[in-house]
Amino acid sequence: MKNIAKEINKSKVIAVLQIDLLENVMPLCEALLKQGINIIELALRTNVSQKATELILKNFPDILVGLGTVVHEDQVRFAVDTGVNFAVSPGCNTKIIDLALKNKLPFFPGISSPTDIEISIDHGCQILKFFPAENFGGINYLNSINAPYNHLNIKYIPLGGINLSNVKNYLESDIVLGVGGSWIAPRNLINEKKWDIISSNAKKIIDLISLQ
């Protein structure tokens, strides 16, 4: 199994996806891979998300697949059974964390406060999802709530409101492992099959990362 933390830190970006139609899986993944984005978080929010996960795992071995919006125990079991690389949640549900880690599934719970951080640490997590990042004050807020725990070497994956205009603020921080964003391939562009625009968005963030 690949070291997920190392891979995320190397790539620096996770494309957060919502897929409504299975016919969009192939061209979407091809558009992302073409520009060098090989880590995705597929949100379990649509009727086809689980089938889309299986298609991506089968057809795109070069993509590291994470599942997002994992809030139920059966979703953890699906993640384990299908062999995805990691899973994340918007919040900090200890039952979900414990089940994931019990099954050796790399899991990144969502945090937005010191209490969330302490709960996550207490349940064995060292990589945390900071969500919704911009609404809570961005990198300045994250630095503030992390300060008491800085000696623990926790790493964060901020998501929520991040785009090309503010992503550098996060990527320059030592506590940020990588960032997630739906701006690369937003739901409307996927449904409209705007593969050229998605590919262009992917190229822009990859070019920016290469300058870091």
Q: Is the pLDDT confidence value at 1 over 70?
A: no
Question: What pLDDT is recorded for position 211?
Answer: 81
Q: Is the pLDDT confidence value at 2 over 80?
A: no
Give me the mean pLDDT over the 36-63 stretch: 98
Question: Catalytic one among 2, 7, 41, 58?
Answer: 41
Do 20 and 48 touch, CB atoms closer than 8 A?
Answer: yes
Give me the mean pLDDT over the 21-45 stretch: 98
Q: Establish whether 129 is a catalytic residue.
A: yes
Asked if the structure places residue 25 within a domain, the reply is yes
Do 162 and 180 touch, CB atoms closer than 8 A?
Answer: yes
Q: Is the pLDDT confidence value at 207 over 60?
A: yes
Domain that holds residue 93: 4-107+162-210
Q: What is the pLDDT of residues 73-131, one digit of tens each?
A: 999 999 999 999 999 999 999 999 999 999 999 999 999 999 999 999 999 999 999 99
Q: What is the pLDDT of residues 176-194, one digit of tens each?
A: 999 999 999 999 999 999 9
* % of residues, the chain, pLDDT over 90: 98
HEC per residue, 130-178: ECCCHHHCHHHHHHHHHHHHHHHCCEEEECCCCCCCCHHHHHCCCCECC
Asked if the structure places residue 138 within a domain, the reply is no
Q: Is the pLDDT confidence value at 49 over 80?
A: yes
Asked if the structure places residue 134 within a domain, the reply is no
Q: Which two tokens stand for residue 150?
A: 């800085």
Question: What pLDDT is recorded for position 212?
Answer: 72
Q: Which two tokens stand for residue 7?
A: 């891979």
Q: Model-level pTM? A: 0.96
Asked if the structure places residue 151 within a domain, the reply is no
Q: How many structural domains comprise the chain? A: 1
Short-list 57, 56, 89, CA closest to 72: 89
Asked if the structure places residue 139 within a domain, the reply is no
Question: Catalytic one among 12, 129, 134, 155?
Answer: 129
Residues 178, 11: Cα–Cα separation, whole Å: 7
Q: Is the pLDDT confidence value at 200 over 60?
A: yes
Question: What pLDDT is recorded for position 25?
Answer: 98
Question: What pLDDT is recorded for position 12?
Answer: 97
Short-list 84, 79, 93, CA closest to 40: 84
Q: Is the pLDDT confidence value at 137 over 90?
A: yes
Asked if the structure places residue 60 within a domain, the reply is yes
CATH code of residue 86: 3.20.20.70
